Amino acid sequence: MKGEKPLYKSSRFERQLPLIGSEGQKKLENSTVLIAGAGGLGSPAATYLALAGVGEIIIVDDDNIQESNLNRQFLHSAASVGRRKAYSAESTLHELAPDASIIAHPIRIDRTSARQLVRDADIVIDALDNYETRFILHDSAWAVGIPYIHGAIEGFSGQLTSIIPGKSPCLSCLIPGTPPGGKIPVIGATAGVIGSMQAMEVIKFLTGTGTMITGRLLIWDGLSGRSEYLKIGRRKNCHFCSDHGE
């Protein structure tokens, strides 16, 4: 966690202080969260973390806003079409949480930028929409021992797991190969559910509250209204864990 910052006015957080206490609130305020993606998952994740009082949020996205984004990406308005997502997200989050430090990076995540970005974070949210970039960011976070909250969505369904280096399987254990890319259909509420749960995992980690979804994959099926957990173990032939001495 980064250097301590002044405690925000407690009245803003009076409904959550009974749950996490003043020490938990201070931990949020003195933390830095890296959110990779300012789209469907990044919108609810960033919003709820900013509103919870996280002191610094780094948001990274190199895309511009398109009209087709607006069914799920509520950090952006119709008037923002054509604008950089990172800057639009920064503006919205500043309005919602003026005391928070919001740092926007309208850059592509590659192996060089990922290493630089994770160095400034206490935890990383994977709000990305392609697996090639996911693996790059995950590998950089794992290398420096930073938790990585993975979420993915398609249609009415989504998945979530929290990857803690040295304590849980890695992303390659869960997903041995890179799935095919392309535009994925999605209902906006699906992104809202999974992105909100990613924010919850971050809050639990930073405050030391509750039990995180580690070593398990949450599968949420919104169409049938069902959820299930799949146990995840380390794969003996995982190339990533093998290369990193796990």
What does the pLDDT look like over 121-169, one tens digit per residue?
999 999 999 999 999 999 999 999 999 999 999 999 999 999 999 899 9
- Please state the domain extents for the chain: 10-243
Confidence label for 237 from pLDDT (cuts 50, 70 and 90): confident
The contacts of residue 25 (CB under 8 Å, 6+ apart) are 7, 8, 10, 13, 16, 17, 53
Q: Per residue in 168-202, is it b (16+ CB within 10 Å) or e — as a string?
A: bbbbbbbbeeeeeeeeeebbbebbbbbbbbbbbbb
pTM of the model: 0.93
CA distance 218 to 99: 33
Mean pLDDT of the chain: 92
For 61-101, the pLDDT digits (tens) are 999 999 999 999 999 999 999 999 999 999 999 999 999 99
The CATH number that domain 10-243 falls under is 3.40.50.720
Q: Give CA 2 to chain center in angstroms.
A: 18
Q: Are 32 and 2 in contact (CB under 8 A)?
A: yes
